[in-house]
Amino acid sequence: MVPPKKSKKKKNDSKQLKKTKNKKKGKPKSIRPPVPLENGAAIDSDWWNSFWTKNSSTPDSNVPSDEEEGFKYFFRVSKKTFEYICSLVREDLISRPPSGLINIEGRLLSVEKQVAIALRRLASGESQVSVGASFGVGQSTVSQVTWRFIEALEERGKHHLSWPGSSRMEKIKSEFELSFGLPNCCGAIDATHIVMTLPAVQTSDDWCDQENNFSMFLQGIVDHEKRFLDIVTGWPGGMTVSRLFKFSGFYELCKSGDRMNGDIRRLSEGADIREYIVGGVDYPLLPWLITPYEDDDDLSAAMLNFNKMHEATRSVAVKAFSVLKGSWRILNKVMWRPDKRKLPSIVLVCCLLHNIVIDCGDSLHPDVALSSHHDSGYTGQRCKQVDPLGQLLRDNLAKYSLH
């Protein structure tokens, strides 16, 4: 595949997770006072009862009869987690004039109803018109509310997605070894396509992927609990996974020795095992990124055993993406002409919500995970890059796997 052309336009279209906003560091965010209610308008505080009455009795629906489970079905979070999310964004949502955010009864939308509208839009992937109809608001209100929520949570919830400190990382490594047998493993990596349609004026070979879809990449590293530790998004789907990886901040940090530089584990056989993550065949074999042995008839028992352990460990990332795109189905549907500058923020917020659900100890509704692969229809492109130090580490892990 031809690598993406370097151009100013692509540079503007692309956006990494670690973006900086045009604000001075340390400068407090200016807060506008809440706008007084005009003409004595009341705040729409009974939104849930109205929503539940209207949407719980839809014919041939799978909506649970239990109200608590029904809340999770519609918004992917429990009421307790919902309240926590509201607390994160409340200040931002009430600090700007809520002009136009009035429902058909003439009442101003409460923060809770705004959050509910945004979560329903992200969780269902339904059109803004359909989501608006279920809440009694117009399409433009859904659009405005959802984007305000995304901007607020992107800023206020970013502490839910960060690389672990040393003590937390020791816990992750211990759990990976306990569950799958691989020592000193820090995480599993995978990537998925966010498929979209684009206007003819915005189409290019960069955004057209191997399946002739226009798409944007999302790459993520997850821990043993399927929590995202690092993501990169904003890059065109026409790239290879290995090229995407080399554009990530994680790759640069590892290459410079500023990440994956924790304690070395000495095995009983005498081999030293440094920190690493596991990835599929479309990633390069590096000293800190271990891929499986290529299938052939010459694999030893140790190699075959290692491949099984590697696949079980890597599957945590595959399952994490399946839950992410199944919970926040806006990522799993074909997006209709999204703004490529805003789409990375939508992707990031969905990842933040995924982590918040885990961090709050929420149990997911059983039907959220996708029944098929998160990147259904896409086949991996094997990366041929092999680093000798990565090869040595993999061989040592294979010998250890037999014990």
pLDDT score recorded for residue 97: 46
**In which residue ranges of the chain is pLDDT below 50?**
1-42, 97-98, 104-105
Domain ranges (residues) in the chain: 33-156, 163-401
- Give the pLDDT confidence score for residue 34 in this predicted structure: 38
Instruction: Give buried/exposed letters for 337-370 (b at 16+ CB in 10 A, else e).
Output: ebebeebbbbbbbbbbbbbbbbbbebebbeebbb
Burial class (CB in 10 A: 0-12, 13-18, 19+), 395: middle
How confident is the model at residue 323, as a pLDDT?
96
Tell me if the pTM is above 0.75.
Answer: yes
The per-residue pLDDT for 203 is 61
Q: What is the pLDDT of residue 201?
A: 57
Sign, CA dihedral 148-347-80-368, equals positive
